Amino acid sequence: DLKQGKFRITGDFTLNISSGPDERLYKAADRFLRRLDGRTGLFFKQGIISQANPQPADDPKLFIITKKKGKIELNEDESYRVLISPEKITLESENDIGALRGMETIIQLLSADDQGYYFPAVEINDKPRFPWRGLMLDVARHYLPMDVLKRNLDAMAAVKMNVLHFHLSDDQGWRVESNAYPKLHQLASDGLYYTQSEIKELVNYAADRGIRVMPEFDLPGHATAILVAYPEFGSMPESYTLVRNAGIFDATLDPTKGKTYQFLDKLFTEMLSLFPDEYIHIGGDENKGKHWKANPQIQAFMKKNNIKNAFELQTYFNNNLLKTINKLNKKMMGWEEILQPGLSKNTIIHSWLGRESLYRAASQGYQTVLSHGYYIDLLYPASDHYTNDPLPDSSERLEKEKKYKLTPEQEKLILGGEATMWSELVTPFTVDSRIWPRTAAIAERLWSPSSVKDVDDMYRRLEIVSVRLEELGLCHIKNRDVILRNLANGGDISALKILVEVIEPYKEYTRDPRGYLYKTYSPYTLMADAASADASSARIFRNRVFSYLQNPNENDFAALNSALFKWRDNHDGFLVTMKVSPVLKNMEGLSKKLSVISSIGLEALDFIGKKSAASQIWYDKNSEVIKSIKDDTEAKKNSNKIFEDERTEIMIVDAVQDLVDAANPEAAKKRREKEKIEKELVEKNREENKNEADGGH
Ligand code: ACM
């Protein structure tokens, strides 16, 4: 609620914490002051504040009023109220976690005009829509050092996220020091693990920011690392080795042996003593039961105990594990595959294969968290994640969601969502750019009302948030230039910068088809790593083409023209850089393609500007060139050998085709009709083949 007036910030700005409930709030207030003076360049008279040295101000400008210390647990109150008038600011909350959230809002409101910095007068009453707003970090595929984790916790706090889901074990590594079973970190981590004191430090760092840390130890599948250390708990008498590529592997704990549960009991007792959170994520995903089928002893056990299939055996495993978890006063969470008859209702179901499981779980009385649609490692644009609402208005739900007809009580079981940063293709150096800024769009989806969903406005604000995250030490913007400088081998990076802003890495997992191309130790220092999931120059160009074709105008024409000239001529500069940097040879074809596409766009724009239709011959020739470029990209995506283009693609190709179409609308109409018929034929063939395949069952 915007009001009249501005609160001006000067060096006299001071804050006052009334009845400070905890050191945590003082530390947060101190960080707030340091960010504010860092941005404004003002020399605040109020120095470092702490509970021991609160430095109460004579004439405070910001009053922080909270009643008590909040608990770092699910469903804690995070509400706050901010009132800004030209004279003073008050921030009130039930507990200090609400105050932390409120301080982030206040700092977001910082504005400037020709007289200096100010906060606009407002009244805000705010609280989250969902209590579970998480980010999962997979530190198994690529270990992330403490400083990377900490800066990402800072970023999470800035966008009011409250759960770090810490994926600590998988086929590629075990990442926590264990005294009970030291071979885990000694043999299954390549020396890259968190000491117990580091884990405690991290948990405290997160708690200082109002963030829970929930560990995940993925069981009974995804267990290669555990079995590298302790093969005696495996379902096959193999010698296991750490996995170095991506994929789904067969190593599985043996659920039929008492000693497996004794191991897990002792291990969890140790591990969960490090994590105060109420929840433990046990994974449970992607266990195909291959080793269970292959082991006669396990098969005999199943027969004897009337366990009919791998799902039932996994439920048997989960319920045994639950005894340990209950004994430790914890609750269990697992990926959606664990939702099987007989699963304890205390368990949280983590939906990832599809949204349906979210609704199925809630309809059966389970609490549930959505990650399907928040897989940031798939490299989809922010808009896709932003429009993925866990609980849209019932009229906007998919048919398969509507079929569950959730009661209001069941809807409350949908706790929120989590962005998942699987790390097969990221390193400590690139991970920030895969998480941010897109995760901020997810954070907003989970905090704000469902009615806040204007995509253009989201992108406008996301640019601002993105830059602000740099203030907290995030490297998602600056590391791009570091990669480009490395790629240019000391040469000029200006051509690479232009190129990287119109390309994106292949989406989904096509950058690394079937997980064979990249190993954990491959170089993640290529154009694909510098490129973002949501190339802003390309997006702006696409939007402008759309708006220009709706309503031709000189502004858009000039902007499109200048972008296309820049891209057309960029290839010459690229070739100069390539001379000193052989690694760039892989990108030569793509850079050339950008030039070709842009030339076509320029010619099309010229026809449209002059209001003269292009000839049929011109239209056919250029449409054919664009089609061949697209076909080439598709062919490369589907190949696991070709390394040209560094598995990136140009994101303005369709928009240029739109310009070409507008240069001869008659020809475009005919071509589209032809394409439609071809597409229907392909679909029809696919349907027929599919029916055949179905018939085979
Ligand atoms: C998962 O992505 N395997 C949970």
The half-sphere exposure of 243 on its side-chain side, counting CA atoms within 13 A, is 26
For 77-91, 232-246, 429-443, 669-683, which range has the lowest pLDDT when averaged over its residues? 669-683
Candidates 143, 207, 203, 198; CA nearest to 175 is 143
Q: Average pLDDT of the chain? A: 95
Helix ranges restricted to H, 125-237: 146-158, 183-187, 196-208, 224-229
The model's confidence at residue 694, banded by pLDDT at 50, 70 and 90, is very low
Question: Is 335 close to ligand 1, i.e. is its CB under 6 Å away?
Answer: yes
The single residue of 76, 270, 278, 286 carrying the catalytic annotation is 286
Q: Which residues make beta-bridge pairs with 166? A: 137, 215
Confidence of residue 697 (pLDDT cuts 50, 70, 90): very low
Q: What is the pLDDT of residues 415-454, one digit of tens each?
A: 999 999 999 999 999 999 999 999 999 999 999 999 999 9
> Residue 553 above 80 pLDDT?
yes
Number of Cβ atoms within 10 Å of the Cβ of 332: 22
What is the rounded average pLDDT of the residues 284-299? 96
Q: What does the pLDDT look like over 504-546, one tens digit per residue? A: 999 998 899 888 899 999 999 999 999 999 999 999 999 999 9
- pLDDT in the model for residue 696: 36
337 lines ligand 1 (CB under 6 A): no
Query: Which atom of ligand 1 is closest in space to residue 286's alpha carbon?
Result: 3
pLDDT of residue 695: 36
332 close to 316: Cβ distance less than 8 angstroms: no
Determine the Cα angle at 164 with ends 226 and 126, to 5°: 165
Is residue 12 in contact with ligand 1, taking CB distance under 6 Å? Answer: no
pTM of the model: 0.96
Distance 403 CA to ligand 1 centre (A): 25
- pLDDT confidence of residue 653: 98
Q: Is residue 331 pLDDT above 80, yes or no? A: yes
Q: Report the atom number in ligand 1 closest to the C-alpha of 350.
A: 4
| pLDDT of 63 above 80 | yes
Instruction: Check if 286 is active-site.
Output: yes
Rounded distance between C-alpha atoms, residue 415 and residue 358, angstroms: 10
pLDDT at 692 over 50: no
* pLDDT exceeds cutoff 60 at 690: no
516: CA distance to ligand 1 center in Å? 18
**CA distance linking residue 426 with residue 430, whole number of Å:** 6
Atom of ligand 1 lying closest to residue 420 CA: 2
**Range 187-196 average pLDDT:** 98
Q: What pLDDT score does 482 carry?
A: 97
Say what angle helices 653-663 and 588-610 make with each other, to 10 degrees.
30
- Does the beta carbon of 352 lie inside 6 Å of ligand 1? yes
The 3 state secondary structure assigned to 287-327 is: CCCHHHHHCHHHHHHHHHCCCCCHHHHHHHHHHHHHHHHHH
Q: 1 pLDDT band (50/70/90 cuts)?
A: confident
Look at residue 16 and tell me whether its pLDDT is greater than 90.
yes
**Ligand 1 atom closest to residue 335's alpha carbon, by position in its atom list:** 4
Residue whose CA is at the smallest distance from ligand 1 atom 2: 352
443 contacts 161 by C-beta, under 8 angstroms: yes
Is 138 close to ligand 1, i.e. is its CB under 6 Å away? no
Residue found by looking up tokens 């120095």 in the block: 47
Over residues 206-234, the mean pLDDT reads 98
What are 149-165's pLDDT values in tens digits?
999 999 999 999 999 99
92-114 pLDDT, tens digit per residue, is 999 999 999 999 999 999 999 99
For the chain, what is the total number of helices (H) and then of strands (E)? 26, 18
Tokens of residue 498, six digits = 């232009």
Ligand 1 center from residue 357 Cα (angstroms): 14
Question: Cis peptide leading into 437, omega within 30 of 0?
Answer: yes
